[in-house]
Amino acid sequence: MTDATEFAPGLMIRGITAPQKLADYKLIAFDMDSTLITIECIDEIADATGKKAEVAAITEATMRGEITDFKDSLRQRVAKLAGVTEADMARVLKERLQLSPGAASLVKAARAAGLKVLLVSGGFTYFAEHVRGLLNIDFVRANVLEVRDGVLTGGLIEQTWGDICDGAEKRRTLLEVASLIGISPAQCIAVGDGSNDIPMMQAAGLSVAYHAKPRVRNEAKVAINEGGLDRLLEVLQ
C-alpha cells in the first residue's frame, strides 16, 4: 500500500488522520463474498458439480483484476452451475456460509452510530438475503440465479436495474442509496476485497480494504490485513 502508514499491527491507513468518528458517516456499504462472509459462494456452489477448482480460478483472476470484464467472467462461471439444485445451494448456505470475524460487531456499532447498512454484491440474492436477515441490513443489491424446476439453468434473471451487479453497478448503487437517504458520497464508507469493489470505494468518503488483493489495498484509505472487520472501529471511534 503506497504512501500508507501502519496505524496498528496489520492495520494500515493512508490519506486520513485517525481516529475519526463513526457517527460522522451515514452509510456503510459492504461487499459480501470474502468480505461480510468468509466464502466465495459461487465457488462453493460449483463444488456440487465438481467444477469448484475451475470456477475458483476464474473468480481469483477476476478479483485480482487480471480478468477485467466482470460481467463476462460471471456469465462464464454461472454457466458452469447448470444442473446445481436448490438443495445443493441450501447445503452451501447451511454448512459453509459463515460471517467474517467482526462482521456482526462492526454492523452493530454502525447501526448504533446511526448509519444505514448496504450489502452490494456481485454474488447472489439467495445468500445475500440470508445475510441481510443475520445482520439486519437495510439495503441489498445482488444478482438473481435463474431456477427452473428446482435446478439452476446456468443463467441470471434480469432485474429492473440490469442483470449483473458489477463494479460500475456497485458504485451506482452506493450513490443511489446515498441520494435516497439524503447524504453526500463523502458520508459513505465502502468495504471490499476485490477489483470490482474499487469503483464504489473510489466514490465513497472512506474506502476500506479487508484482507484484499494488492490492487485493492493500494486504492484504500484503510487496509485491514490482519484480524476481523471490527478492526475498523480502531480507526473510527
Catalytic residues, which ones?
31, 33
Q: Among candidates 36, 31, 43, which has minimal Cα distance to 101?
A: 36
Q: Contact at 8 Å (CB) between 139 and 85?
A: no
Q: Contact at 8 Å (CB) between 1 and 14?
A: yes
* Distance from C-alpha of 117 to C-alpha of 107, rounded to nearest angstrom: 7
Distances (CA, A) of 52 to 36, 98, 124, 190: 21, 18, 17, 29
Distances (CA, A) of 10 to 29, 85, 89, 126, 136: 22, 40, 34, 33, 28
Helix (H, G, I), strand (E, B) or coil at 113: coil
